[in-house]
Structures are given as C-alpha cells and as structure tokens.
Amino acid sequence: MPFNKLAGFHKPSVKGHTGKALIGRLGGRETIIFQGRSHYYEGLKMSEVTFPIRVLAAYGIENLLLTNAAGGINGKYQPGELMLFSDHINFMGENPLRGTAQSDNSQFPDMTQVYDPALNKIIKSAARRSKIKLHSGVYCAVCGPSYETPAEIRAFKKLGADAVGMSTVPEAIVANQHNLRVAAISCITNRAAGLGNAKLTHEEVLKIGKSSSRTAANLLIEFAQNYD
C-alpha cells in the first residue's frame, strides 16, 4: 500500500525511500513494514516526520523496530556492519514533543531507557544465531542534510557517540511517549567525516545500504521468528 497517498502522510522525497507500507507476516508475526521515512531535513515539521508513528501507535502496534543508515564514528565499525542502539544523543536541535502539551503530561516521557532491553536481548541473540556481526552503541542524531565536518565528528566521539545519522531519534522519542517497545538498528554505510579516505556521498550511502539489506533482513526475520 502506498502510504504516502494517505491523508497526513508525506511522500518521502529522498532516493531509496519508496513510501510503501507492506502489511503481512514476517517470521509468522503480524508485521507492518514502512519502506522509507520522511526526514526533518526534507523541510517537514517534526509532527509530520513522526506522524506515521502516531498512526501505528493508534492502530495498536506494540513493538517498533527502526532502521537507518549511519556513519561510523567508533573505530571498530566497518562499512556494511550493523549497530544496535543502546542509547542516543539528540543533536537535531528540535524535539518532536515540543508544543504537544497533553492534559496527562505525556509530553514529558522518561528517556532513561528509550531502547527496550528485552527487545535488544532478542535481537542480539538473533544476530548470534544468524552469525551476523552486530555492534551495540550510541547513535548521535543530527539535522542534516549536509554531512558533518571532521571537527563535529571528533566532538561527537568525545561525547560518547558511536555512529551519526539524520533520522530515527524523533520517531523513537514519539514511540516512547506512546509506551511502545522500541529498538533501532543502523547500517554503518561509511566512516564518518574525517575518519575515512573517501569523500561522503549519498550514492555511496545508498550502495552500501543496499548491499547490507539482505543481512539486515535476515536479522529481522530471525528476530521475528523468536519474538515472544
């Protein structure tokens, strides 16, 4: 189903994001897969970027698994490998809950454990069983769309970031507000600015993302099969 044709949904404008929702079963579990997302850097409001999460929460989903492409800051991360979020740093300069006052004060969710330890445990054991290398680390979210400068990457590293990207954190914050269980996985598509030799390009990010998509899919299937 093309979700971008539904009221309130925006057509993702970035190459590689098709704007379709696949509804069916994955590993025997009822699953909705959104192929692509809208990004804050596309010029949308945070409320628009996170609208699909609110729809999914209203529909009654219980678990949200977010995926993205990210630049590797941790020196142990190689392009093509995966990283499970242990936590995040929000450097997007915005919070999706700003201006969403609720009488139940739910716009002030606790953020001590955004990424659900039980889901992370299942994902880690799925990776072990499938022999997929899965790092665990801190994701730093920036606004984009320009890539970072080497000085910014050095600063993020000092602050404890393992990977950097331009998405996911708004969705995770809104999902947390709705008490969804959240996990997130980055495909490390490149070494972050100043850490590799090559210039960063969106084409390279898409290429490595595509070549790792089978590995990520295998991990998600193994996860779904063993989720209880």
In the complex, which residues of this chain contact ligand HPA (CB under 6 A)? 69-71, 147-148, 164-166, 189-190, 192, 200, 205
CA quadruple 101, 106, 108, 109: dihedral sign: negative
How far is 10 from 156, CA to CA, in rounded Å?
Answer: 31
Helix (H, G, I), strand (E, B) or coil at 85: strand
Residue 55 or 155 with smaller CB distance to ligand HPA: 155
> What Rg value do the Cα atoms of the chain yield, rounded?
17
**Tokens 């490998």 appear where?**
81
**Which residue bears the tokens 């445990």?**
121
Instruction: Give me the residues paired with residue 87 across strands.
Output: 138
Minimum distance from CB of 59 to ligand HPA (Å)?
29
Nearer to ligand HPA by Cβ, of 64 and 164: the residue is 164
- Least separation, in Å, of the C-beta of 85 and ligand HPA? 14
Q: Give the 3-state secondary structure percentages of the chain, helix then strand then coil, rounded to 5.
A: 35, 25, 40
Considering beta carbons, is residue 131 or 158 the nearer one to ligand HPA?
158
Shortest-Cβ-distance residue relative to ligand HPA: 71
Minimum separation from the CB atom of position 110 to ligand HPA (A): 27
Cβ at position 128, least distance to ligand HPA in Å: 26
Instruction: Kindly tell me which of 119 and 166 has the beta carbon lying closer to ligand HPA.
Output: 166
